[in-house]
Each structure stands twice: as C-alpha cells, then as structure tokens.
Amino acid sequence: MTAPLPRPPVALTIAGSDPSGGAGIQADLKTFSALGAFGTSVITALTAQSTTGVTDVHEVPVAHVRAQLETLVADVRIDVVKVGMLASAPLVEVVHELLTTGPLAATPVVLDPVMVSTSGSRLLAPDAVDAVRALLPRADVVTPNVPEAGVLLDEPPAAAAADLPEQARRLRELGARRVLLKGGHLDGPESVDLWLDDDGPVALRGPRVATTATHGTGCTLSSAIAALRPRHDGWRPAVREARGWLTEALRHGESLEIGAGAGPVHHFHELVRWRATT
C-alpha cells in the first residue's frame, strides 16, 4: 500500500485577478503549487489585462471580499497569507480588519504593496496609500520594489543599491517588522535586494537575468516566500530559497512565448525540466 502524502501547507492569496495568467491571483496559485503549497484565494479586483498593459479594473464589492474570506476561514485552516493588489482604501481596510481579528489574527502574512503593474498601469488608488501604511505592522514581511518604497515613504525612490538600507530602515519605522526591499529597478550587473530585520541589514545579491519575461515578478516572489515559509525555521532562509527559485523562473520565462509585451516568468520550470529528462 502506498503511504499517504504529507499534508501540504495551505497558503491564501488575497489579490487581484490577471486574465493573462502571469501576475496576481493566477501567478500566486501557480507559485503555491510549484513550491508544494495548497493554494486558496480571495479576489479583490478583476482586471482587464494582458502582457502589454491593464485596460480596466473592476473592484470587487467590499462586502463580497468579506464574505469570501469569512466563508473560507470558517472551513479551511490557513497556514500563511500573501496579500497583493488591494486597489482601494475600503478594500485595504476590510482586509486589515480580517487579518487582525478571527482565525487569521496570528497567521503569518507576506504583504506585497502592489501599486503599479510591470507595464506601468496604476493598481492602487492614490488615496489608499495611507491605508496600506497602516497595514504594514500587521505583515510579518513587506516586499516593496523601489518605486513602491518611495510612495510609502513619500520621498523619491532609491537611485542606487547604497540607498536601500536607509529606506528599508525608514519602512521599519513605519511599522514593518521585516522588509525585503527589491532592487530590480536599479541598474547594474547584479540584482540586489535588501533584507532588514531585527538582526540588521543584509544585501541579497544574485545574477541579473537578461529577459523580457518579467510580468508578475513581484507577485511571484512574494507568493514564493509565503509558500516556503512553513518549510523553514525562519523568514530569511525562505526568502533566499524564493529568490533562487525566481531566478530560474525568470531564466526560463521566454520559452513560454506568451504575449507581445512583458511575458510571464515560468512558474513550472522545474516540473518541465524534470519531465524532459525522464
């Protein structure tokens, strides 16, 4: 008799939908599956989107977002939460409430403060930034990119990797417990992210992958961290593994040949390579 498989960690993504499959809920669920977590989702917004841009956003009514989440957690035990696109202040506020009360009050949270898509489309209302700042203390890890950090801090974005530690420190002053400040927007031969927790700053360096397949990179990294956290003793090793996995997903993204714009990363690159060798 075959032994039963171990129970996988259950990850929840609270985010917007991307019909092209490269970002948002779709990218999160693919990432969860690729990394061995069982994915669940609460949809906050429906986008009309492709690899070339976002043409429309329809916010899900706040009452329905509440109903989705309350119905889910009344039945399913959630081990980790990833929060992505929240679109508006009322949506941020209801998610904040539901993460601080009830079954999710002690659940680890990774917050990706989605504000602008890879193609440059705005995904967060300007008047919602204060609500996102108020959500920072509830997150165990916050993963802004350079432009998003600038918006949260109400100052110009970092111009070089040397600026990242100070901006990460100020994000902690806003209440963030741990910060992964992503430096992918910065020029240079390496990709440099800045990790900051109670033990101090650490520069995480890796190869910069030359690719046009960058759609959903931020969504994918944050959901990878969430999926991997239950398998590690702490956040830092989960972040390191997630970054390494994303590097390979970026490296193989162009092989998918999806769309005419910034294509998606290859979430299932490991599975495809395994099949190719068996």
Q: Which residues are catalytic?
A: 182, 214, 216-219
Total Cβ atoms within 10 A of residue 222? 30
For strands 141-142 and 109-111, give the pairing: parallel
CB-count exposure of residue 236 (10 Å: 0-12, 13-18, 19+): middle
CA–CA gap between residue 184 and residue 214 (Å, rounded): 10
Greatest alpha-carbon span in the chain: 61
What CA–CA distance (Å, rounded) separates 162 from 1?
Answer: 57
- Residue 254 to residues 46, 246, 249, 261, Cα–Cα distance (Å): 26, 14, 10, 11
Residue 204, CA distances (Å) to 181, 211, 243, 260 in order: 10, 20, 9, 31
